[in-house]
Structure 1
């Protein structure tokens, strides 16, 4: 009954005689004949190597041979050839069979893995083609990105240069204008344009024109402002975290910091009064908070300035950034707190 079950099995099976010279085939079932295309009399008495061909892996053959020589079971996947010469992949498990005298036979159950291998090859070819297409597309996108980045750098560079020229022209005009409101207005506008120029210069020099580092700008701005102050009387200090914000926010934030600092220096310390201005910027849960504080005379005591529009400009910029602003007497001095949402990840 067992032999009949093996004979009817849909799995190709073969038995070889381990005691006979060259381990010849002694029995095959119909599924094995169907797989190989050989007749029974063409297989009996011959070694299974007859199924091998030019594409058979010699290393895998050697591994199987070593296991058989040692009388050990082995599992392998081998490229064999049918009688008509067509190749097929055979997954096999070779098991030694013992009797009272020792090793007697080898029993091998096989499975045709040709379609599986063909699918693997097809998938590998498809994957290789997809990888090639992705690599080509990535190369094209990288080239386009580099081109656009270079263009952005060039635009920022030209804007920075033009702003510097405009600022210099306004400063030159201010120096030739008699003292008064007109001269102060020209001076103030030149300084505002200078702050915008600094922001663009930093965008250009960072190598990433999509983001703007507020901490770096504050450090550069602080250096420029303090260079023109009498340190024994007035000084500007800053504690600004290195917050990276979208490049679109560079100009508004630069203008905010400049305007609030300049207003404090201009109005908080009349009659050469000594004082200090502090700038802080910290990340918050919803974005960032920018504060400008001075220890000057305070809002109520500051001299009126009918021609000034600094506060209006600050509030307009805050609205543009969708933020909120609060002005308060700090006792002494003035305290301005601005909360700005940061929608893009940084």
Structure 2
């Protein structure tokens, strides 16, 4: 029986030849330099490297790889390569290089020090790739993005200009509506003063006050920066100021707790009319014969809706003097339906409590009050 042994040296040589054959046939450009020789020259390159650079083999052997550098090559990147070689460390960089015919290309390089078994530096191996098309696409994409951004900015500027124009127009509309409502209210008040006491005079007085409330709502819209929103708290402060001006504060206390709720502009007039009607009716009918009392008005945002409560400690609805010509309660019920809300009238002895719940997402109203 014959025995055989494998020569380790021969196995290493076979492996080296196999790697050399694989690298030579690879489509990835590769080059090997020898740092033990002057100026770290090229000592081997595969055919892919020659195809990438356009040089013949005899034109590159013995020369440093800087032969591929030129005017567009980044000095900072060149310094990184130099420092990495001095430190004997691996480096991955991209650099503008030049072919033999002078054309430029983006060269992505991975430079790796090659050491022997003892750890001594023997060679530098560089695998390379032409990244020109990638950079071209990136540049084209950046150009397209820049152009799109310019278009978006231009379109945004146009939209902002149109919005400013629309806002100015809406402000002007609210301003004119407010002025017209004030004129109508003043005319009705003037007519009421010249009308004998009775139902006709009371009716004129009541309509003038309702129109005044609508005028206040449009004035608030005119003064707001956002013409699409109406701040209920600001309106309530203005409305209550007018309300308390005609009240004897020695016998009547008016308390208000209004959240800063922003509602759509379309809800401004209905809310203004409803709050005015409830508050003035309470003051007018709940405290006859100079009766002392308290009126509380609250508006809170709860569960995605607006909860409004008007409460007094007066004589109550059933004890009030019937007014066949009045339609305040019917008007409030109509406005609440228009706002798609619910209303509850409750006599809690003494006094009356009215609770209203309105959904704040009711952007589309069933009608128009203003």
Which band: TM-score by shorter chain? over 0.9
Residue number in structure 1 paired with 2:120: 102
Matched, 1:159 2:177: yes
Q: Paired residue for 2:60?
A: 43
1:41-91 superposed Cα distances (whole Å, 9 cap, x missing partner)? 111111111111221111101110111122222111111111122211111
- Cα RMSD between the aligned structures? 1.3
Within 1, Cα distance between the matches of 2:243 and 2:362? 30
SS of the residue corresponding to residue 350 of structure 2 reads coil
> What residue number does 1:68 align with?
85
Report the number of matched residues.
Answer: 345
Partner residue, 2:218: 200
3-state DSSP of counterpart to 1:270: coil
User: What residue number does 1:89 align with?
Assistant: 106
Offset from partner CA, 1:160-183 (integer Å, 9 cap, x none): 111111111111111121111111
Question: What stretches of structure 1 of length at least 5 have no aligned partner?
Answer: none
CA distance in 1, matches of 2:280, 2:119: 105
Aligned residue among 210, 227, 251 for 2:269: 251
Q: 2:294 aligns with which of 266, 276, 288?
A: 276
* 1:9 maps to 2:26: yes
| Partner residue, 1:292 | 310
**Which of 325, 331, 345 lines up with 1:313 in the alignment?**
331
User: In the alignment, is the contact (CA less than 8 A) between 1:222 and 1:237 conserved in 2?
Assistant: no
Of residues 36, 39, 42, the one that matches 1:22 is 39
Q: TM-score, normalised by structure 1?
A: 0.97
Q: TM-score, normalised by structure 2?
A: 0.91
Write out per-residue CA displacement over residues 280-335 of structure 1, whole angstroms, 9 at most, x where no aligned residue.
11112141111111111111110000111111111111111111111111210111
1:327 to 306, 325, 345: 345
Q: C-alpha offsets along residues 125-168 of structure 1, whole Å, 9 cap, x if unaligned?
A: 11111111111111111111111011111111111111111111
* Equivalence for 1:175: 193
Cα deviation for residue 220 of structure 1 reads 1.4
Q: CA deviation at 1:230?
A: 0.5
Within 2, Cα distance between the matches of 1:81 and 1:43?
A: 13
SS in 2 for 1:148: helix
1:227 equivalent to 2:245? Answer yes
Q: 1:102 Cα shift? A: 3.0
SS at match of 2:289: helix
Structure 2 gaps of 5+ residues are 1-17, 364-370
